[in-house]
Amino acid sequence: MDVSTISFLAKYNKTVNEKMNSYISALDDKTWTKNFGGYFPSIKSLCNHVYTCDTNWLKRFSKLREFTFIEGTKISDGLSFSVDNIADISNYLSKREMLDNKIIEFAHEMKEEDFVKNLTYIDSHGIEYSKNMGFLILHMFNHQTHHRGMISLYLDELKITNEFSNIYDII
């Protein structure tokens, strides 16, 4: 684990989210909220979940040491899973762009010694954990990839040809 790997993953995350969001921006409200029957039943619910998780992970990560990426943002407040944190497609797109930029800022602020430290945090159920920071960052990126795959599947179900996960566009 090193700073260049995390910076690469942050750039990849932003790039594929932009590509995915080009498909999402073309959806109407009915399609955006269509129930596909999954645990997160709609594209909107998936986007809300990932946005909420990413925001909360950045809040947790900011507790490791002093970071400047968190200053002047609502990220420092964290978000609740019991509410809808995105109003509509336009609101989601602007919030996602801001969040992806914050993830890049966070990645650029990381130091090599940060990856081996343990981060102590409380999850959304009130349970305290102390886990390796580097592995937690990888978990955040893996979680995003997992849910982008679900969104791709929902787009496939809508007969919307989509391709937004190609890593070769970054390297």
Q: What is the 3-state secondary structure (H, E, C) of the chain?
A: CCHHHHHHHHHHHHHHHHHHHHHHCCCCHHHHCCCCCCCCCCHHHHHHHHHHHHHHHHHHHCCCCCCCCCCCCHHHHCCCCCCCCCCCHHHHHHHHHHHHHHHHHHHHHCCHHHHHCEEEEECCCCCEEEEEHHHHHHHHHHHHHHHHHHHHHHHHHCCCCCCCCCHHHCC
Per-residue model confidence (pLDDT) at position 75: 74
Whether pTM > 0.95 for this model: the answer is no
Q: What is the pLDDT of residues 1-39, one digit of tens each?
A: 899 999 999 999 999 999 999 999 999 999 999 999 999
- Kindly report the CATH number that applies to the domain delimited by 3-169: 1.20.120.450
Q: What is the pLDDT of residues 100-141, one digit of tens each?
A: 999 999 999 999 999 999 999 998 889 999 999 999 999 999
